[in-house]
Amino acid sequence: MAWTVRSAITWGQAYLSNNNIENARLDAEVLLSHVLSQRRIYLFIDPDKQLTFSEISTYRTLLTRRTRREPIAYITGKKEFYSRSFNVNGHVLIPRPETELLVDEAIKLAKSHASVLEIGVGSGALIISILALRKDLVGFGSDISFDALRVARENAIFHGVADRLHLFAGDTLNPLAATFELIVVNPPYIKSGDKHLLQEDVALYEPARALFGGKDGLNVIKAILMNVDRCLGRGGRLIMEIGDDLLKPVCAFLADRQSLVLVSVLHDLAGMPRAIVARKENGQFCY
Ligand code: GLN
């Protein structure tokens, strides 16, 4: 039987839904358009187009990967974030829509020509989006994973910000002896005991060290809050994503640190607390 775009989608949808994949139709369409190197709309423009043997065989392989719960973003190697496409692979967290909040806040808060540090860049989606929207800023980004830094570098080049983004290997703030006007971070904050609550796609495939923040989810958050004031000039800000159940302990921890004050809490589209903004109160002025 000759396979057409239409029959391949119908077959792929049934195969995925028989394997309990939720958005079977959408996933089948995304995977087929990826195989054909076309945008999804193309599938509807030419549904009777015949597929080659090699296209069908690649499509089946990708569908099988999806039945094993591999995230679509890792299969296609791409994820949209703040209207830009980012390369991703299993070494980096797949950027989440709620992290777009941090981009909005950063471009609002950053003064002209400020230097912005992101701790733990992963794919680079956050810092690259900020730099792409604010051409006056200079960016710095660290990660503990060389594999992640490679992905961030590719993305920085693709989005034309590589000349303003300095990437380096490092664990939280350890190697830094510089001060920044703005620091952004999406730390790992899921409690280790909550692993069973995650979608299988996430738990099985995304890098654990980008997700889990120890027993109370606060290991990395605390390390950052303890050290970040060394790296901020007076008046400098920290924008940090947090788990929606961590606002209270994070505020309590901050209350004990005189040099850093909470200035606002950002809520996501579901109305949950998703990020905090804190300001450095003493030391040399950075603005
Ligand atoms: N928000 C992500 C999730 O729930 C976790 C990202 C993180 O730990 N920073 O899967």
| Ordered mean pLDDT values, 10 residues apiece, the chain (287 residues) | 93 98 97 96 94 98 98 98 98 97 97 96 98 97 96 98 95 74 97 96 97 97 91 93 96 89 94 96 62
What per-residue confidence (pLDDT) applies to 257? 84
Q: Is residue 162 part of a domain?
A: yes
Nearest-atom number in ligand 1 for the CA of 213 is 8
| 54 lies in the same domain as 105 | no
Same domain, 54 and 193: no
pTM of the model: 0.94
Residues 131, 98, single domain; the answer is yes
Annotate 58-80 with b (16+ C-beta within 10 A) or e (fewer): bbbebbeebeebbbbbbbbeebe
CATH number, position 140: 3.40.50.150
Q: Which ligand 1 atom lies nearest to the CA of residue 93?
A: 6
Q: Whose CA is nearest to atom 9 of ligand 1?
A: 188
How far apart (Å, rounded) are the C-alpha atoms in residues 34 and 15?
18
b/e code 104-122 from CB counts within 10 Å (16+ = b): bbbbebbeeebbbbbbbbb
Boundary-marking domain end, from 20, 37, 68? 68
How many domains does the structure of the chain reveal? Answer: 2
User: Hey, CA dihedral for 96, 101, 104, 110, is it positive or negative?
Assistant: negative
Instruction: Give the Å distance between the CA of 157 and the centre of ligand 1.
Output: 26
Q: 32 with 160, same domain?
A: no
Tell me the CA–centroid distance for residue 57 and ligand 1, in Å.
34
Question: Are residues 199 and 242 located together in one domain of the fold?
Answer: yes
| Ligand 1 environment, Cβ below 6 A | 96, 186-190, 202, 211, 241
> Does residue 286 form part of some domain?
no
Q: Using the atom order of ligand 1, give the atom closest to the CA of residue 211.
A: 8
Range of 57's domain? Answer: 5-68
110 in the same domain as 63 = no
DSSP string, 238-253: EEEE--TT-HHHHHHH
Please indicate, yes or no, whether residues 98 and 58 belong to a single structural domain of this protein: no
Which DSSP string do the residues of 36-50 spell out, in sequence order?
TTS-THHHHH-TTPB
For residue 284, the model assigns a pLDDT of 55
Q: Within this chain, do residues 37 and 91 fall inside the same structural domain, yes or no?
A: no
